Amino acid sequence: MGNVVVVGSQWGDEGKGKIVDWLSDRADVVVRYQGGHNAGHTLVIDGKVYKLSLLPSGLVQGKKSIIGNGVVVDPHHFVAEVKKLQDQGVEINPEILTVAENAPLILSVHRELDAIREGQNAGLKIGTTKRGIGPAYEDKVGRRAIRVMDLGEPDALMEKIERLLLHHNALRRGMGIKEINPQTIVDELNEVAAGILPFMGKSWSLLAQYMAEGKRILFEGAQGALLDNDHGTYPFVTSSNVVAGQAAAGAGVGPGALNYVLGITKAYTTRVGEGPFPTEQENETGKFLGEKGHEFGVVTGRKRRCGWFDAVLVAQMVKTSGINGIALTKLDVLDGLDEIKVCVAYEYKGKRIDYLPASMAGQAGVTPVYETYEGWKEISAGARRWADLPAQAIKYVRRIEELIGSPVALLSTSPERLDTIMVIDPFQA
C-alpha cells in the first residue's frame, strides 16, 4: 500500500473534494499541504452537502486529519469552520484533527492588505479571493510570520507582532492608511487562541509515526497546478507551490513518501479570476458549460470562466507534477453537445508549439489548435461502469489519455460519491 498525492491539474475547481472524499475511504490519514481557506471543496454524501475550505476533507469520513505547515491558517476561520462541521454532525476533536505548530497564521492585517491591493485602480489585478493568503505567505518568506505555536507563548507574542508591524505599518504609511496598534493584533489572537491551541501538534512527527506503522496517507492539495507560483500562469497565480512536490515540504515528509500522484482533471476547462485562458468560450458553449456544470466558486460564489479541454496545459502539468494517473471529473456535463473540441496544440508567432510559454506576452498570444469530436446524446451522468458510458464518451476519454500522456485512473460522472468508475486504485498502483 502506498501514499497518494492529490493535485489539481488545471486552474482549480476540478472536483477534488469528491475525489478526496472517495479516496478517504481507503486512506488512514488525510493531510492538507498548501494553500489556505481560499479554495473550497464540496462533498455530497448521502444527499448531504458539506463545504470545506480549510479543513481536510477526511474529517467528514472520520479519518485522522492534519493541516500541514505549508498551509496558511486563518485562526478565526478555523474556529468557525470547525463549529460549522460540528453543527452538521461531524465529530472533530484533537484526537482526530492536528494543526502543524509551525503553520503561519493569517491575520486581519493580511486580509486588509489583500483587499486594498486588489481594489486599487492602478497596477495588476490578479483576481485573489481577498482572504489574506498572499500577504500571509509574504510574511512567512520574510521571516516575520506569526505561527500557531506563538499563540502558546503569550509572553513573547507582543515582541513578534511589533516586528511584524514594523513592516506592515511602513506599507500602510506609504498607502496613506492608518497604522495598526500591536495590541489590536494581540487582542485579535487572544480571542481565538483557546479554539486552536488544543489542536496544535508536531505534524512531521505524527506522519513519521504513521508511515512507520504502514498507514496509508492521502496528501490533499488545494487549487490547481496552473496556479503554482513557479509553474503556473505567472503572475496570475496563487502565493504557494501547488504542484505535487509541495506535498513533501508542506507536510514535513521526504519525497520518497509520495508514491502515487493523482491529477484531478475536469473534462473541460474552467478558471476563476484574471489571467490567460486560451480555450475560453465567451459564447453559448461557455454558457452551457457554466450552467450545466454549476460553475460558481464554493468560497466566493464567483462565476467561473468556461472553455474546452486544453490537453496542452494538462500534459504540461502531468510533467511538472509527475502525475501517474488522472481522475477525470464532470464528464456528464458534456452530455447533449453535438460536437466537442479539444485543444491539441497552440499557434504562436506563426509556429505550432506543444507548451504554454512562460512569459505573460507568450501566454496571452497563443491561439489554440483544436480537434473536433462527435458529441453524444446518451446520458453518462451516474454511470458506474465503462459499459454504462456512451461509446462516443469512451472515445473522448481515450483520446484525452493519449494527448496528455497519462491514464485515467478514476472517472467521475456526478457529484455523488458512488458515481465513480475506478480503473486503477491509486493506493495499490
13 tagged catalytic: yes
87 tagged catalytic: no
Q: Give me the catalytic one of 13, 74, 114, 139.
A: 13
Burial of 217 (0-12, 13-18, 19+ CB in 10 A): buried
Q: Give me the catalytic one of 21, 25, 28, 41.
A: 41
Active-site residue set:
13, 41
